[in-house]
Amino acid sequence: MASTACIPPAPAPQDAVGLRDRARGALLGLAVGDALGAPAENMKPSEIRARWGRITGYVADRPAGTDDTEYAIFSGLLLARHGSALTQAHVEAAWHEWIADREEGPFRGAGFSERGTLENLRRGLAAPISAQHRHAWSDGLAMRAAPHGVFAAGRPAEAARLAAIDGSVSHEGEGIYGGQAVAAGVAAAMAGASTVAVVASALAVVPDDSWTARCLRRALTAAHRGERAVRSAVVIGGYPWTDLAPEAVALAFGAYAAADGDFTDAVLTAVNMGRDADTTAAVAGALAGATRGVHAIPAAWADAIGPARGSCLPTMAGHHVLEVADLLTRAARLAPPDPARVRVAPVRFARPPARLPSDPDRVPPGTEALPPAAVPTPSNTATAPPDPEEAPRATQRVAYAPEPVPVGAEVLPPNARPAPSAPAPAPPDAERAHRNAGRVPAGAAQVPGDAPWVPGIPGRAPREVAETPVREPVRATRGPGTAAPAVPGGPPADTHPGGSRPPSDPAAHAPVPEAHAAGANAAEAGP
């Protein structure tokens, strides 16, 4: 069930300088959070306190980003290359080009979802089958989803769409939802949305009854009570795996909401809650960095972030997150609108098209005096378009020609042009026959309540069959082992005990054209 929440209105994105500042804040904030949280990954808060007390800065000698930063660079470069035209094929090709088809390794620090995806791709499986492994619920997409929000600043729904395309190679279900929530939240923050609006934007793009949505709501409810309340509301006690997307994403949003968007507080709250601390702090840093801008990041933390080392993805070595942020800002500013997503206004008629008559003895007004050449026949009735929802409208518009047509709508689509054959000359009494088209002569076998048949409209019996009296075959009691004759349009032959085979009636067994079989069935099914 899709979410019923509405994406809150966000302020219009700032000018190029403002967007660049927020974009740099989002991706540098992600890298800083990743480096701060890496030492505390998979630890409990009590274990963190026992080893370092409360973490307030870098505790590693050489702080550096992990797979979270390198995969975010991967997604950012891919998005800068393709923009809104990104497809599943582009993502799959990039996985092969930059990761799966290379001999380099060792992919140190890669999560279970990434390793499962690499194994499937190397076995020859294509997306989305490549995402069908046991770890598609992980936070591997969430950790690399921030670039989609940077690119689609102020457009949370578009950011979520792009994140889902990115994740279709490696994730499914809750793994996709987690990435969409992060992308939408960053997109809203890039436009200057409030903390509450950022979380609401994330909730609006995931199913309302999903595990991700439930965890986000719990985290937001507990945020005002601090990090311990957020952790208690979200974390599954005793569960050993920490990279659950619903849990990690909710902890990150909870830390961001508890700090009211302040960068330092948001990141340190996420780090000291433990669990998948490098990912939760990276996501919280991306949200807060997009909200407050790059200058909100402490200089000592920012200066420690250099180009990626390529410890997990060797092809990403040498790329800096600030470089990727600038590429995304430029791509978002220069990208033309996607023609495939531009909506065309529908043609508006002066009044709604006529409805099919509900009374079988009445014909829609205006069809009585049609000239003989305009009478709908199989030779001059347009072929219905392939879309089943459009078929009744298209055939109805051709059958009832007097309906007004606006200028420019006279030409039917190419697949609905009438056949080029000229209409046959009408007999002298054609007009009278057309006026009586809706009437059924006495004795005719037409199901009560059926409307007159119009060529091209399914479900109506052909007039030639409906107006032909159906002879009731002489029936006799069948004897043991004898089979009833096959009557066109009737029930299949079977064997009944008692009686004898009825005499053959050639008139009753005359072949019925295949196109009129529905009408014969309707006639024989009468009361």
Residue 505 has a CB neighbour count (10 Å cut-off) of: 14
| 123 and 221 part of one domain | yes
Residue 336: the pLDDT is 59
- State how far the Cα of 343 lies from the Cα of 347, in Å rounded to an integer: 12
How does pLDDT run across 145-162, given as a tens digit for each residue? 999 999 999 999 999 999
Number of neighbours of residue 265 by Cβ within 10 angstroms: 17
- Going by pLDDT thresholds of 50, 70 and 90, the confidence category of residue 337 is low
pLDDT of residue 105: 60
308 plus 377 within the same structural domain: no
Within-domain flag for 426:
no
Provide DSSP, 210-270. Answer: SHHHHHHHHHHHHGGG-HHHHHHHH--TT-----BHHHHHHHHHHHHHHTTT-HHHHHHHH
What digits encode the pLDDT tens for the residues 77-122? 999 999 999 999 999 999 999 988 887 665 666 777 778 888 888 8
The CA distance from 131 to 125, in Å, is 9
449: confidence class by pLDDT, cuts 50, 70, 90: very low
**At CA 429, angle to CA 428 and CA 435, rounded to 5?**
140
Closest CA to 317 of 102, 92, 506: 102
Phi, psi dihedrals of residue 294, rounded to the nearest 5°: -65, -30
Report the candidate in 500, 491, 443 with the shortest Cα–Cα distance to residue 470. 443
| 360 plus 331 within the same structural domain | no
Q: Are residues 248 and 378 in the same domain?
A: no
For the ranges 180-184, 349-353, 450-454, the one whose mean pLDDT is highest: 180-184
Tell me how far apart the alpha carbons of residues 143 and 282 are, in angstroms, rounded to a whole number: 7
* Interval 276-318: pLDDT, tens: 999 999 999 999 999 999 999 999 999 999 999 998 899 999 9
**Using CA atoms, how far apart are residues 249 and 182, in angstroms rounded to an integer?**
7
pLDDT at residue 228 is higher than 50: yes
Please check whether residues 256 and 396 belong to one and the same domain: no
State whether residue 380 is helix, strand or coil: coil
Has residue 370 been placed in a domain? yes
In a 10 Å sphere around its CB, with 0-12 CB exposed, 13-18 middle and 19+ buried, how is residue 287 labelled? buried
State the chain's mean pLDDT as an integer.
73
Q: Both tokens of residue 173?
A: 């279900």
- Taking the C-alpha atoms of residue 248 and residue 261, their distance in angstroms, rounded to an integer, is 18
Categorize the per-residue pLDDT at 446 as very low, low, confident or very high, splitting at 50, 70 and 90.
Answer: very low
Q: Which residue has the higher pLDDT, 8 or 157?
A: 157
98 shares its domain with 190: yes
**How many C-alpha atoms does 430 have within 13 Å on its Cβ side?**
15
Q: Which residues of 300-335 are buried (b: 16+ CB within 10 A; e: fewer)?
A: ebbebbebbbbbbbbbbeebbbbbbbbbbbebbeee
pLDDT for the residue 107: 67
Q: How confident is residue 133, by pLDDT bands cut at 50, 70 and 90? A: confident
- My answer on whether 314 and 372 are in the same domain is no
Which residues are within 8 A (CB) of 9 and not within 5 positions of it... i.e. 6 or more apart? none
Confidence of residue 221 (pLDDT cuts 50, 70, 90): very high
Q: Is residue 310 part of a domain?
A: yes
Q: In terms of pLDDT, which residue wins out, 518 or 187? A: 187
Q: Is residue 367 part of a domain?
A: yes
The rounded distance, in Å, linking the Cα atoms of 263 and 251 is 15
Residue 457 lies in a domain: no
Percent of the chain past pLDDT 70, that is, above it, reads: 59
More confident residue, 470 or 236: 236
pLDDT digits (tens, 9 = 90+) for 237-287: 888 889 999 999 999 999 999 999 999 999 999 999 999 999 999 999 999
Give every CB contact of residue 93 below 8 A, 6+ residues apart in sequence: none
User: Tell me, what DSSP letter sits at residue 374?
Assistant: G
**Cis peptide bond N-terminal to 128, omega within 30:** yes
pLDDT in tens, 415-433: 544 444 444 454 445 445 4
For 198, the token pair is 């950022």
82 falls within a domain: yes
Same domain, 328 and 371: no
Both 114 and 165 in one domain: the answer is yes
492 preceded by cis ω (within 30°)? no
CATH of the domain at 129: 1.10.4080.10
Helix segments in 293-377, DSSP class H: 299-303, 321-334
pLDDT at 298: 98
Return all residues near 358 (Cβ < 8 A) that are at least 6 apart. 451
- Whether 310 and 364 map to the same domain: the answer is no
Q: Is residue 367 scored above 80 in pLDDT? A: no
Query: Is the residue at 209 inside a domain?
Result: yes
The answer to whether residue 141 is domain-embedded is yes
Identify the pLDDT of residue 333: 86
Task: Say how far residue 273 (Cα) sits from the centre of its chain.
Answer: 34
Winning range, highest mean pLDDT, from 226-230, 349-353, 379-383: 226-230
Q: How far apart are CA 476 and CA 464, in angstroms?
A: 29
Three-state DSSP class for 17?
helix
Q: Per-residue pLDDT averaged across 433-446, rounded?
A: 47
pLDDT at 429: 53
In Å, how far are 172, 206, 210, 250, 405 from 1, measured between CA atoms?
16, 9, 8, 20, 40
Shared domain check, 207 and 78: yes
Q: Which domain holds residue 378?
A: 354-382+392-401
- In a shared domain, residues 317 and 218: yes
Q: How many structural domains are present in the chain? A: 2
